[in-house]
């Protein structure tokens, strides 16, 4: 008689624990690396070389996200700034400074950083409270920003002379 409620309670506990375990990310400690610090599947990635504006110890996923942001903002691919043959190709040389767009990108990163810092300081707000200037602010998906034409002057109402052009 008492067996049935205990079995039911135990079954419910196991069921709830199984559901909770399935929803909680597993945080198992990976096995210690073997073979002199290599990770499974090959050698550890080489440290980044020739980072001059970004932090030298930037995590790989963060650097990748920044580069993907450049790709989207300028409508370009890796080879626009880098010596890039293809993903995983040993001929890739991301550290090379042979391409002018990479040098320009460094200056532009410094420029937008300075604009954002000065803006925050001059309007006395923290940097996270302002709308930040970024590559996309001007580039809008084009490698070379396109300046839209000036709007046409307003037409004069019927029977009136058009307004005089602005003095230069």
Query: How many residues does this entry show for the chain?
Result: 168
pLDDT digits 0-9 by tens, 94-146:
999 999 999 999 999 999 999 999 999 999 888 788 899 999 999 999 999 99
Q: Which residues contact 133 (CB under 8 A, 6 or more apart)?
A: 112, 115, 116, 119
Q: Give dist(CA 134, CA 69) in Å, integer.
A: 10
**pTM of the entire structure?**
0.62
**pLDDT of the residue at 47:** 87
What does the block give as tokens for 10? 């135990």
- Delimit the domains of the chain by residue range: 60-139
Lowest mean pLDDT of 7-11, 53-57, 105-109, 127-131, name the range. Answer: 7-11
Q: Write a three-state SS string for 107-140.
A: HHHHHHHHHHHHHHHHCCCCHHHCCCCCHHHHHC
* DSSP-assigned beta bridge partners for residue 39: 42
């Amino acid at each position: 008689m008492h067996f049935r409620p205990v079995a039911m309670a135990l079954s419910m506990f196991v069921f709830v624990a199984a559901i909770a375990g399935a929803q909680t990310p597993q945080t198992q400690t990976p096995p210690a690396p073997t073979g002199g610090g290599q990770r499974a599947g090959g050698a550890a990635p080489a440290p980044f070389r020739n980072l001059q504006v970004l932090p030298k110890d930037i995590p790989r996923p963060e650097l990748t996200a920044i580069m993907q942001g450049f790709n989207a903002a300028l409508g370009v691919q890796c080879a626009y700034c880098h010596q890039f043959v293809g993903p995983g190709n040993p001929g890739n040389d991301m550290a090379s400074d042979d391409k002018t767009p990479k040098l320009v990108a460094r200056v532009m990163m410094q420029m937008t950083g300075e604009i954002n810092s000065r803006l925050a300081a001059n309007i006395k707000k923290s940097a996270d409270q302002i709308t930040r200037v970024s590559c996309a602010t001007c580039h809008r998906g084009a490698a070379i920003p396109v300046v839209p034409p000036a709007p046409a002057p307003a037409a004069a109402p019927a029977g009136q002379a058009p307004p005089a052009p602005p003095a230069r």
